[in-house]
Structure formats: structure tokens, C-alpha cells
Amino acid sequence: MKTTDRKYTLTAGISIIIMAIAAAIAYGYIYSNLVVNDHPDLTFQNISLAVSMFKQGIAGWIIILMTDVLVAWSLYRYLKQVNQKLAFTTATIRMVYAGILAVAIYHLIAILPLTSTTGTTDSIALMNSHLESFKGTWSFGLILFGLHLIGLGMLVYLSDFIPRIWAVLLIFSGLSYFGIHAAKFLFPEYIGQVEQIEMILSAPMAIGEVGFAVWLLIRGGKPLRTKTSVKAVAV
């Protein structure tokens, strides 16, 4: 195990933790509190009265975007020793996802000029259009994000220095992301049921990547503990 591996695992682990915190604030708190589904009038009012909060949410999404790029790079550098082609493909998929997320964020930024206007029918409709575009674009990106996690899980499984439990959790998370967000596009008439499944699986889905991040911070890139070394210490 190279000494530089520790640098990559720390970068990936810290970035994922920062990303998780930023997502909890930007989406779990700010977006969820300001955006009321199927009520564009109320959403327009909420955002117009809390522009500063909405801007903080956008800043959170930009942090998520930047950390996504860092994670893609650092995990590629760490895992290319397992299978360089698979590691490169997996990292590339996450970079493409990051590009799609950037387009989604643009739709949030485009809302800012509308907050200084009165709540006319056109303004409300345009804001709602940008929000729907944000949600749809991000959801499409999460299909690719699911593929990234599946590829990452395969790399972990093929490695001989990462516990395979993380491979199982990452692949489960990836399949869940892929299945849920693909279903939103393929079966829009069942969106309510799909979102219920998403709520049920949200915690297990998060455990895969965040749990792996904790492992990266604690054990990633460190020399493997062997039975020989343990006996030597005991002696």
C-alpha cells in the first residue's frame, strides 16, 4: 500500500462527509422548506421572502458539485490499482453526473432574478418551470450516480484491502439510486409510489456511501493488519 493512498482516502472521505452535510442543509432543510410541491404560488412567496436562505442553498449545491469532483478524482487514484479501466470508467461516470448537476444548479440560479419581481402569473410559472427542470435534471443525473456507486462497489469487491461489506452496501445503494430515478422517468404515473419507496430506502442508500467514507477516514490507505504482525506485537 503506497503512502500516497492515505492522502487520497482522506480526501475522498472528508469530501463525502462535507457533501453529506451540505446535502442535508441545501436539500433536506432549505429546499424542502421553501419548495412546496404542487403549490407554485406558495413556493414563489416562500423563496421571495427568504432570498438569502435560498442563496445559501445554492451555495450548498455548489459545494456538493465541487466535492463530487474531488471524490471522483481521489477514488480513481486510490482504486486504479485494483482495475484501472473500471476505476477510470467509474470516475468518468461521476464526473458526467457532476456536469449534469451543474446544469441543474443553473436552474436554481436562474430563479434569483425572479425573486425581485411581483408574483405575476408569468413569474410564478417561470420559477416553477426552473424548479421542475432542476428536479428533473438532478433526478436524471442520479441515475448515473447509481451506476457510479455500482462500479465503485465492484472495485471494492475486487480489492483485497477493503472489507467486502462495503461492496455489498455500495452496490445496494447504486441499484436503489438507479432503479428509483429510472422509474421516475419511465413510470411517471406511479411517481407517488416511487417516492414512497425512495423515502423507505433513503437511509440504507445513505449508509452505503457515508459509511464507506467513515471507513476511508479511519482505515483507508493504512497498512493492512496481518496475523503475523499481530503475533509480533503480542510477543
Residue at grid coordinates 414563489: 44
Q: Where are the domains of the chain?
A: 3-225
Looking at residue 162, the DSSP 8-state letter turns out to be S
- pLDDT tens for 223-234 read 766 544 444 344
- pLDDT tens for 90-149 read 999 999 999 999 999 999 999 999 998 887 889 999 999 999 999 999 999 999 999 999
Q: Which three cell numbers stand for residue 118?
A: 411581483
Residue at grid coordinates 443525473: 141
CA distance 104 to 85: 29
- pLDDT tens for 8-55 read 999 999 999 999 999 999 999 999 999 998 899 999 999 999 999 999
- pLDDT tens for 165-195 read 999 999 999 999 999 999 999 999 998 899 9
Give yes or no for a contact between 138 and 102, defined as CB atoms under 8 angstroms apart: no
CA distance 118 to 112: 13
Reported pTM = 0.90
